[in-house]
Amino acid sequence: MLNGIIVLNKPRGMTSSDCVYKLRKILHIKKIGHAGTLDPEVNGVLPIAIGQATKLIELMHLKPKSYLGKGMLGQATDSYDLDGKILATKKILEPFSSNEIELVMKKLTGNIKQLPPIYSAVRVNGKRLYEYAREGIEVERPEREVRVYNYTLTSDPIYDSELKTESFSFSVKCSKGTYVRSLVNDLGEILNVPAVMTELTRTESSGYDMSQAVTLEDIEANIDTPNKWLQSINTFFSDLTNIELSTEQFSRVKNGASVRLNNVPDIVALSYNGIVKAIYKKKGKEYRPDLMLLKNE
């Protein structure tokens, strides 16, 4: 049975669920799920967990995500991207400097409170915000705290003297639950001009980046050689201290028994024959099971 993580380079025009559905058919496997939804028109890193790796999905969400994107000043939509209905336009008669834009980006860095877009999957009273939006029902959006590690320009903004708009390219590193569309919209609000996100690519998620990403076509072409497109569960825990168990220790771990370890961190990966079988945490003087991965092979 396959166990591991596919770092999929999701194409534009497909939902994250579409990708899981297609992989389920390609691989003939039911135990599969993605970590961190990407909007249909956003491409880039979409981690897909298979087999025992599905146990890691909640942990995968906790690692930061990185993006490269583009925004435009002079227009705003209800979805905060180009898929939405135009709500406002304003001619940019005097373009903003790189410094002016970056000063606002700094204000949107750190622990910030953010309103999700009305067209998003956030649930309110058991119903997703986009469902309310499609029905034309106004609902109070839940403000929530997210962390933005960095939000910076990647090049000087470009002014269109004919359309009187200004475009900018940016990079963002942020926590789970951050809407990059909202960061672009909020930047415009602080500058007192409409703003919309025009393009987005996720470059890193769950500890994996584009250098490890594969396409659906890559997987289909190399279906019999999974080492070309499947990351082992071990790679997800590469930042933990790894303890190789003896046969006697492993027989105890298989039964969920505690173990005594000396001079190691409070959380460790326990391996047998080089394969991670469990994550143990220190409780008192002993280490006890936190996550069991006994079927990882």
Q: What is the pLDDT of residues 104-133, one digit of tens each?
A: 999 999 999 998 787 777 787 778 877 877
pLDDT tens readout for residues 86-110:
999 999 999 999 999 999 999 999 9
Residues 254/270, Cβ–Cβ less than 8 Å:
no
Q: 156 φ, ψ to 5°?
A: -70, 145
Three-state DSSP class for residue 21? helix
Question: Which one of the listed residues 18, 39, 156, 160 is annotated catalytic?
Answer: 39
The pLDDT, as a whole number, for residue 105 is 98
pLDDT (tens digit per residue) in 16-68: 999 999 999 999 999 999 998 899 999 999 999 999 999 999 999 999 999 99
The DSSP string of 136-147 is T---PPPPEEEE
Residue with tokens 């490269």: 68
pLDDT at 125: 74
Cα dihedral: 223, 228, 234, 235 (round 10) = -130
What is the reported pLDDT for 180? 96
- Regarding the domain delimited by 65-204, which CATH topology (the fold level of the hierarchy) does it fall under? Pseudouridine synthase (3.30.2350)
Q: What is the pTM of this model?
A: 0.92
CATH of 240-292, one of 3.90.76.10, 2.30.130.10, 3.30.470.20, 3.60.10.10: 2.30.130.10
In the chain, ranges of CATH 3.30.2350.10 domains: 4-63+206-234, 65-204
Report the pLDDT value the prediction gives residue 117, as an integer from 0 to 100. 80
Contacts of residues 122-126 at CB distance under 8 Å and 24 or more positions apart, as own/partner, are none
Least confident range from 113-117, 139-143, 210-214: namely 139-143
- Structure tokens of 283? 């409780």
Q: Which fold has domain 4-63+206-234?
A: Pseudouridine synthase (3.30.2350)
39 is catalytic: yes
Question: Tell me, what's the pLDDT at 147?
Answer: 97
Q: What whole-number distance in Å separates Cα of residue 225 and Cα of residue 228?
A: 6
CB hemisphere CA count around 218 (13 angstroms): 15
